[in-house]
Structure 1
Amino acid sequence: MTQTSPAPTTTGSGLTLSVRGLTVHYGGVCAVRSVDFTVGAGQAVGIVGANGAGKSSTLKALMGLVPRAVDALRLGDIDLTRVRARDMVRHGVGYVPEGRKVFAGLSVEKNLMLGAYARGWRRHSQQSLAEVYELFPVLGEMRARLAGALSGGQQQMLAIGRALMSRPRLLLLDEPSMGLSPKLVEDILAVLQRLSGEGMSLLLVEQNAKLTFEATTDCLVMENGQVAMTGSAHELRHDPRVRRIYLGL
C-alpha cells in the first residue's frame, strides 16, 4: 500500500504503522476481530464498509479510546500498545474524531493552539498556525470567532487544522465528510490529496466510498468487524464484491 505548495505538517520522516490482531469487544459483542494492516510512510490508506462494519471502532482502538486487545501495534520502532490515548500525539499520531469535537466556547485560534499543546506552544507553533491558515483561508478570516458559531464544514476544517498543529507523521481521520454538502466534501478531498501529495501518512475511515477511493491509494473493506478485502483503491472501486459488501447488493 504505497503512495506541491507548502506542506502544513509534513515532517519528512514518516514511519510505518503496523497493526496485528486488533480486536474490540463491547460487552459480549465483538465489533472488530483480528484485524491486520499496515500504513507505510507517506501512504494514504482507506477503510470502507457499511454502517456497523467496525470502521470507526478500529480507529478508536488504534488511539486507545476504547478497550482493545492487540498482538502488535507499532509506529516505526515505537510500541504503541502501552501508550495512553492522550500521549499518542507526542509519538506523531494526529487524530480527527468523528463529529469534529471542537471546543465551541473557544475561538478558532485557541482551538488550533490547543492542537499544539504537546509541543509546548513553542515559537514554531506560530509557523504551524500560519500554514493551517494557508491551507484553510476561511479559518484565518474567522480566527477570533467562537468555534461553536462556525458552520459544519468550517468546524471540520478546524478539526483537521487542530490535528495538523502537532505536525503528525500519521493522521487518522474518522468520517471527515459526515454531514457536509457535496461542495465541502470536494474541498476536504482536495485537502487530503494535498497532504498525501506532500508525503503525510493518512488513515481514513469513511462511509463515503467515493471520497475514500479518490483520497487514498489502497483500501481495506470491512464486513462484520473483519477485513473482507484489500487492494488498490482503483481496483476496489470497480469490484462488484465491494458493492455487495458496502451496499448489500
Structure 2
Amino acid sequence: MKVGGAEKVQRLTVEDLSVHYGGVCAVSSIGFTVEPGESVGIIGANGAGKTSTLKALMGLVPRSSGRIRLGDRDLTGVKARDMVRHGIGYVPEGRHVFPGLSVEKNLLLGAYSRPWDKETDRQLDEIYALFPVLREMRERLAGALSGGQQQMLAIGRALMTRPRLLVLDEPSMGLSPKLVGSILDVLLRLREDGLSLLLVEQNAKLTFGATNHCVVMENGEVAMSGTSAELSHDPRVREVYLGL
C-alpha cells in the first residue's frame, strides 16, 4: 500500500534556521537534512526549540534566517498555505480537526489542492485501510471522536495531500500507551512504504522506535545528532532530552 506521495520523495534540506520571538532566540542557526525515505526525529527537553523549528519550517512563524529546500526547489519564500502544494504534509500539535464536519469531509479537505478524480477515491480507501476506525465513523462529526481517533484523522487528512514529506508535531500528546503504540505502528508502516517523515515528539520510545535518525536540540541549538539506535543508548541524551 502506498499512502501519500512516497514514490516521489525528495531530500529536505534546512540550513541556518533561526527564530526569534521579540528579543528571545528560540532557534539558533540550526541545520539538518531528511533524506528520501528517511525518518528523522527532533528531540529535546521542553523549551529546546523543537516546535518552533517545525513551525518555522512550515512558514507558520517568521524565520530570522534560514533556507528551506525540498529536492532542488527552494521553499524559503513559500507561504504556509502553499507548502502542501510543494509536497509537505503537516500534522500540527493539538490535531486541529474541523469538529463540525464529518470524518470523511475532514479527510477530503486534505485533497483540496487537487482535482477530484478516481485517484482521490483510491487514496481515501487507502486511508480507511490504514485507520479502519475512521471508516466506521466516516459520517460522525470529528468533534465527537476521542483524542486518539482525532489524531488518526489528522494524520489521515495530511496523507490525503499526497506528501513527499510528512511533518508531525507531538502526535502522541495526551494519548494512552495503547494508542501511542497504534500511532507507532502507523508511522512504521509509512516508513516501510518509503514516505519521508520528520517527527517532533516527547515520547522517547515512540521517537526512537519510529525514526532511523535523530537530532537532539538544547536551548535552540543542535546539541548532537546520530542514528536513533545510537542515541537511544547515549547517556548524554538522558541529560539533554530528559533533563536528568
Q: What TM-score bracket applies, with the shorter chain setting the length?
A: over 0.9
Question: Displacement, 1:209?
Answer: 1.3
- Residues of 2 paired with 1:33 and 1:54: CA distance? 9
Counterpart among 103, 106, 112 of residue 101 in structure 2: 106
CA RMSD of aligned residues (A): 0.8
Gaps of at least 5 residues in structure 2 are: none
- Residues of 2 paired with 1:27 and 1:71: CA distance? 17
Match of 2:187 in 1: 192
Match of 1:26 in 2: 21
Counterpart among 143, 156, 163 of residue 148 in structure 1: 143
Number of equivalences: 244
- Residues of 1 paired with 2:186 and 2:133: CA distance? 13
Match of 1:129 in 2: 124
Structure 1 window deviating more from structure 2 (68-77 vs 21-30): it is: 68-77
Match of 1:54 in 2: 49
Question: Displacement, 1:185?
Answer: 0.2
Match of 1:3 in 2: none
Match of 2:71 in 1: 76
- Residues of 2 paired with 1:170 and 1:24: CA distance? 22
1:6-17 to 2 correspondence within 5 Å?
A: 6-17=1-12
Question: Displacement, 1:100?
Answer: 0.1
SS where residue 163 of structure 2 aligns?
A: coil
SS where residue 186 of structure 1 aligns?
A: helix
The answer to whether structure 1 residue 39 and structure 2 residue 5 are counterparts is: no
The answer to whether structure 1 residue 233 and structure 2 residue 224 are counterparts is: no
Match of 2:169 in 1: 174
Task: Give per-residue Cα distances to partners, 1:134-154, cap 9 Å, x unaligned.
Answer: 000000000000000000000
Contact 2:18–2:66 (CA under 8 A) maintained in structure 1: no
Match of 1:216 in 2: 211
- Residues of 2 paired with 1:247 and 1:125: CA distance? 42
When the two structures are superposed, what TM-score results if normalisation uses the length of structure 2?
0.98
Question: Displacement, 1:66?
Answer: 0.3
Contact 1:70–1:81 (CA under 8 A) maintained in structure 2: no
Question: Displacement, 1:18?
Answer: 0.4
Contact 2:104–2:138 (CA under 8 A) maintained in structure 1: yes
Question: Displacement, 1:246?
Answer: 1.5
When the two structures are superposed, what TM-score results if normalisation uses the length of structure 1?
0.96
- Residues of 2 paired with 1:241 and 1:192: CA distance? 26
Gaps of at least 5 residues in structure 1 are: 1-5
The answer to whether structure 1 residue 183 and structure 2 residue 184 are counterparts is: no
1:151-162 to 2 correspondence within 5 Å?
A: 151-162=146-157
Runs of 4+ more than 3 Å apart: none
Match of 1:86 in 2: 81
Question: Displacement, 1:9?
Answer: 1.5
